[in-house]
Structure 1
Amino acid sequence: MKLIIRSVTAIAVLGLSVLAQAEVAVIVSAGSVAAPSKAEAANIFLGKNKSFQGIDQKDWNPVKEKFYSEVTSKSEAQLKSYWSGLIFTGKGQPLPAEADDAAVVAKVANNPSAIGYVDSAAVDESVKVLFTLP
């Protein structure tokens, strides 16, 4: 019985480490001619740059965590605090958010002025990758 529990625990830990190793792709529509840099993407997702419409992910997940920590250097708590301040002062509203990678890809693919981020496994020919976060 203990062997079974240990085996299940080991498999769960391996599964979580694989999720944590997901590569994040920052994407735009395949027809988009502009290619924002990493710094420009940070400003778009912080509402400071309106040249593109940022498409966020609804729930805090490993992809969202990696994107925000690598691109904007903000944690979940810092991001919530940041947006709370902008909302309170009337200076900004959070970006529109989609439920999952497939929804983000679909939204970005259909809008040449949209930018999003997804697990690189969700990328298809309808979008192009600007850069990846390993």
Structure 2
Amino acid sequence: MKRPPRQAKAALLNGAFLRRITLVSVLIGGCAMLLFQLAVNQGFSLAYARTITVTALVVAQAGYLLNSRHLSSFSLHPKLLFTNLIAWLSIALLALLQLGFVYTPFMQSSFGTEPLQLVHWGWALLGAICIMLVIELEKKLLW
């Protein structure tokens, strides 16, 4: 509400937003594919690798939610990070749904998932943190 409205003839997505969308898509998709390949190369089942991949996508999207609170300024400052209760409630709900997706027998049989070891949650979290830091760096350099 503090920004003036955009011009009526201006594009909805300018070059900076298209660049951000492309960057985030490549980072999140690339991270998920990298973790999938890493799991397969380490001999995990296809179902397990898929579960890691979906988990990485979910965790990275939750991380990007925190990044996108401020499109052109640093989002990860402790004073700003915890100011949006709805975002944190959404992340908590997303985490509960993801835990159900990974660990409940009904979801495992429905979606072909397997329970993840704690270390593989760490893989997904590490990927999300790396993505968050790259986005913050992009903000610093290009906005």
Q: Which has the higher contact order (CA 8 A, sep 6+)?
A: 1
**The two structures share one fold, judged by TM-score above 0.5:** no
More helix by share: 2
Q: Which has the higher strand share?
A: 1
TM-score, normalised by the number of residues in structure 1: 0.30
